[in-house]
Structure 1
Amino acid sequence: MRKKLKVGVIGIGNIAAIHLEAYRNHPEVEIAALCDIVYEKAKHSALEFHVPSVYTDYRELLKQEDLDFIDICTPNAFHAIIAVDALNKGKHVFTEKPDAIDVEGALRMAEAASHSGKHLMAMRNNRFAPGVQFLKRFIDQGLLGEAYTGRCGWLRRRGIPGKGGWFTTREISGGGPLIDLGVHFIDVAIWLMGNPKPVSVVGATYAKFAESSLSDSIHSGYGEKLEDGVYDVEDLSSGYIRFDSGATLQLEFSWASNVEQEESFVELRGTKAGFSLRKGEVKLFSEIADTMCTTTPDLSKAKTGGNHAKHLHHFIDVLQDRAEPIIRPEHGVDMIRILCALYESARTGREVRLDEERE
């Protein structure tokens, strides 16, 4: 067996429970420290997962010399701050999405990773879904052809998380469903397109459901609600991305909107075939023998299980030199550039160029 890696987890909320369970089930990981500003939360999880050290200040946790890597599960605004400090302390870093809430934070993270020589990776769990993995193999075999346009989205009818808490407070979250949900399926679409560089975006945001208390989504249970809290983010966003390859991508993400039902989707259209991915089901569209064909691959024997755990276990493989990282810091920088540019376009009503920023 390789060296057993010791991890310190910072931020013990809903999502941290999934991370802790993934580490508990990995034979090469020991959960060595937990940190949360609410001591009782960290102590409760420490008892459940048999963790010896508990902190309320992440900077004290980073002084624990035997930690090999840090896992950040805090609210969004703190991802970049903690990641940079951890990398500068010589720790590998895994962080929940989004990488950061602004481009400057994402750039600082990438620079710290480069200078430290340590691995930095942000959660992109949907890349590990069976349907996405199948499509990646399908595309890598050249069966899609040139991917020249597509659509992606995640639409909820009523699923605002932690209303009044940090999720709906822009200063801490960075925004609403665009930064919360968009990071998932914009990433999947761009990855399947071959990671083209974004050159311009147009975006729009809407906030229409701040007064609604209805919920029909399990996802509204995330975060802590505050009756008299802040709601200064969007509940629906839409947009359009143009890439240096000439390809384009339409997008739409909502926490609340008057649609038939909640759904997430990715569609790409290529010169040899197209596909849709909805609720884990893949459909392929193509011409065969002068006939229009729709094919539904059988993914019933694909490896199932939590996609978060699959990604965290991939990170362990990277740290143990068994795999090359599927997500790199530059992917995170591009993602945050896109999200922030979409918000800027929504604010100004104008197209935002990204290629000019890099010049």
Structure 2
Amino acid sequence: MTKLRVAAVGTGNIFRSIHLPAWLANPEAELVAVCDAYKAGAQKIADEHGIKDVYEDYRDVIARDDIDIINVCTPNLYHSEVAIAALQAGKHVFCEKPDAINPAEAVKMAEAAKASGKVLMVMRNNRYRPVSQFLRTYVEKGHMGEVYTGRCGWLRRRGIPGKGGWFTTKELSGGGPLIDLGVHMIDLAVWIMGNPKPVAVSGSVYTKFAGTELSDSVHSSFGSKQENGTFDVEDLATGFIRFENGASLQLEFSWASNVETEGRFVELRGTKAGFSLFNDDLKLFTEIEGTLCNITPQLPKDPGGHKVNINHFVDVVQGRTEPTFTPEQGVDMIKILSAIYESAVSGREVRLD
């Protein structure tokens, strides 16, 4: 079997903890090169895992004819730049979320993928968890009836990642918890709903905890902290999405907020049933024979959505299946996030149609 040759661009925490183990575990992939502007970090990974080639400039990696896949885990600002260059060079691209820091860049990525004929996929790991697959099927088969409203979010009490570094620098990240955490739970909610088209968005953002050093979240270890660094992003965002089919979705995301504990959630309500997914706990609310019933499904053990997502990408590249994520869905996501930031400034609803 000829393995797909993979090169990683960006070797920070998200690559080391999430992407790297998934690539190493896939029997059809071979990680042959790593690249990072901080070359010493890439070299350390290469030494630990027997990877021969280490680069400092992503253009040198992309120029290689023997690379099939570029895995992008750079700061958000560079996602589109690296992905577009790789696609134009005839490589498949798997990119960490968010797709890009603004809609124009997300559109360019989608156009580059279409023109190249190569696969572009952005991490949507929550879609591939057993609970998510169950809920998607449950809705598709009509068990919830018309799904018309819901809410989603991810709230941390104190969990600011890489304070003072690129995470909290808007030029590099594109924003705070909305663009960092919002991609996960908004995508999951909208995907379970059947990907209705967003048509209008409103929102507010707040920065109230830039001075705190407290942390109660493992996620605050992501990124590199910098003393007296930049903090010009929000630490909490709220919002509201209207969809073309009349459905709506409430949003709430924080890195720091006075809540009881950290938690991620999706709740959707339909005419026949509803559900609440909080962290890993799912409850269904429905009516059976005239009696209101709460149901707790027994689901398979979660193998890890990130790993399954990357395995699915490999299946798509190998031509065995159709992608469950499309670049156009990524464009819609970045339009939503950008419009919430725009609405927070204007104080008005922003139309997307």
The TM-score by the shorter chain falls in which range? over 0.9
Partner SS, residue 315 of structure 1: helix
Partner of 2:10: 11
Output the CA distance in 2 between the equivalents of 1:178 and 1:231.
Answer: 15
Residue 16 of structure 1 contacts residue 73 of structure 1 at CA under 8 Å; is this kept in 2? yes
Runs (4 or more) in structure 1 with deviation over 6 Å come to none
Q: CA deviation at 1:306?
A: 2.1
Residue 136 of structure 2 contacts residue 193 of structure 2 at CA under 8 Å; is this kept in 1? no
1:314 is matched with which residue: 304, 312, 322?
Answer: 312
Matched, 1:185 2:185: yes
Unaligned runs of 5+ in 1: none
Letter in 2 for 1:96: E
Partner of 2:122: 122
Q: CA deviation at 1:305?
A: 2.3
Letter in 2 for 1:337: K
Partner SS, residue 250 of structure 2: strand
Matched, 1:340 2:338: yes
Matches within 5 A, 1:27-106: 27-106=27-106
Q: CA deviation at 1:47?
A: 1.3
Partner SS, residue 31 of structure 2: strand
Output the CA distance in 2 between the equivalents of 1:75 and 1:95.
Answer: 11
Partner of 1:329: 327
Partner of 1:264: 264
Output the CA distance in 2 between the equivalents of 1:89 and 1:64.
Answer: 9
Partner SS, residue 189 of structure 1: helix
Output the CA distance in 1 between the equivalents of 2:255 and 2:191.
Answer: 24
Matched, 1:206 2:196: no
Letter in 1 for 2:38: V
Give the structure-2-normalised TM-score.
0.99
Output the CA distance in 2 between the equivalents of 1:294 and 1:197.
Answer: 30
Give the structure-1-normalised TM-score.
0.97
Calculate the aligned-residue CA RMSD, in Å. Answer: 0.8
Output the CA distance in 2 between the equivalents of 1:47 and 1:322.
Answer: 33
Partner SS, residue 94 of structure 2: strand
Residue 129 of structure 1 contacts residue 280 of structure 1 at CA under 8 Å; is this kept in 2? no
Q: Give the length in aligned residue pairs.
A: 352
1:305 is matched with which residue: 303, 306, 311?
Answer: 303
Output the CA distance in 1 between the equivalents of 2:220 and 2:258.
Answer: 16
Residue 140 of structure 2 contacts residue 194 of structure 2 at CA under 8 Å; is this kept in 1? no
Q: How much identity, in percent, do the aligned residues show? A: 60
Mean Cα deviation higher: 274-283 or 163-172? 274-283
Q: CA deviation at 1:184?
A: 0.3
Letter in 1 for 2:332: D
